[in-house]
A and B are shown apart, each in its own frame.
Chain A
């Protein structure tokens, strides 16, 4: 029974217990507890990058897996991501200061005519949760805004989202334009959205279709690693 248990005081937990507890708190979307946990670890001399990867990314990985497996649904994931954001707000400036390694950078946006940004926001948050830098272009993006962002941000990955039958073909418009301009191979192009599937992603010339935000993170990691390997080899 819950009332037989003692209340947990985060600062009294040892490091391992605290990280485990932060996994639970992320899972439950408890933003204040996550902020408190991040601050305690900083006080104990943890490197910002270790807090990010061991506590926050570790916790979001569990959330992502349960989302993928149909145990958690969008509302819970949004709350978890919001808690993660609270922790990230503290860590972000410190990560810049300490020159922590960067996993990769993504430009993401919902295509023209489509207002649906739930899936895209989930991907943004989970990518940030996995340590990627994300530039979010929001909804209703014509091909011009994608091109502009690719030029100014020079990301590794372009992510596009569409939720309507009437807007999903627009992803091909963007990809075709990249091909025309000879830019297609400069970026990893990932697409997602409820009406899409793998075959569709291939047919329009994307590198991969990502079924959900958890898969997007896994796919992004794989492709970025492959890209880095190619660069190293080349």
Chain B
């Protein structure tokens, strides 16, 4: 275990994280439906190139190619028993690239959702989820990850299970949720509810925040929702580079490097400390983001209006935080039985 992320956070106002994994791997020939994690073994040079793309573009931190490297997801590719191994391989390659960077670069071990719904609504038990996350966490630790990084989570139960697994692995961690449904996660978690969730954990993360979702504007609104709670924990912003389009047989995200540069500056001004992209964010976006963060002076937090005018409209009128008196509510007809 290292302290490199904590050290960097204590010295710097902001850190640049990385961009997309899937979008980049497609450009290198990954077939849709195939497991990117298998490339940690079979296409190691491409994975090194993926990592180097972020580091060379100026990222201070990048995620390993292990998003789906848990037993539940790998089972689809007859590799359910290889979660530890493929996680370790992904982290080893990342360690190699980070150590050759000539400056401190954080290897963050990516942990995606299990893909299952947890009890009581679904079938996955807390114990099984913890076991799955723990297996992956140990693999990432063995491969030399500096910090674990759970991302794209919707359910508070799953976030909690990951936190518990990371405590078992005795690793510092970060964790982001995906706010893609009217400003909330698919399971209805608001930005302010996530702050409460994070504060309630016995082993809280080094940093927390939002990734993916429905575009950079929504993500910035979510960051403002975090800071409105007065939290002092470091905030992560990893938004998509626009929205996906299908062009010439490829997925292309419509956000330009200039747009992502503006997004990065606004994310910093809104209070995010670790800023990166998600789907569609390529090295050229990261370069533009780095340059903007280095050259543009820090300003006060953007208003929602400024976000709309600079980045684009929100996907919903409100995000479930703040004064909800004007928000739609259901009127009950009948009485409730005891």
Contact = CB atoms under 8 A, between A and B. Distances in A.
Main DSSP-derived SS at the B contact region:
loop
B62 to A, nearest CB: 17
B186 A195 contact: no
Most buried by B among A7, A8, A23, A165: A165
Nearest to A173: B32
B188 A74 contact: yes
Contacts of B9: none
B117 A78 contact: yes
Interface in A101-130: 111-118
A197 interface: yes
Interface in B63-117: 68, 72-73, 76-77, 115-117
A66 B335 CA distance: 20
Given A7-B338, A170-B33, A203-B246, A73 B76 contact: no
A118 B77 CA distance: 20
A75 B279 contact: no
B36 A166 contact: yes
Contact of A194 (B35, B186, B246): B186
A27 interface: yes
Nearest to A165: B22
Interface in B1-38: 20, 22-23, 25-26, 30, 32-36
Contacts of B68: 164
A166 to B, nearest CB: 4
Interface of A: 2, 5-8, 17, 20-21, 23-24, 27, 33, 66, 69-71, 73-76, 78-79, 111-118, 139-140, 142, 164-170, 172-173, 194-197, 199-200, 203-204
Given A70-B184, A200-B246, 4 more contacts: A21-B334, A71-B328, A74-B186, A203-B245
Query: 8 shortest A-B CB distances, which residue pairs?
Result: A73-B188, A70-B182, A115-B115, A112-B33, A113-B33, A203-B246, A169-B32, A165-B22
21 contacts: A2-B336, A5-B336, A7-B337, A8-B335, A24-B333, A27-B330, A66-B330, A70-B183, A71-B329, A78-B117, A113-B33, A113-B35, A114-B76, A115-B76, A115-B116, A166-B26, A167-B32, A169-B26, A169-B246, A169-B250, A170-B32
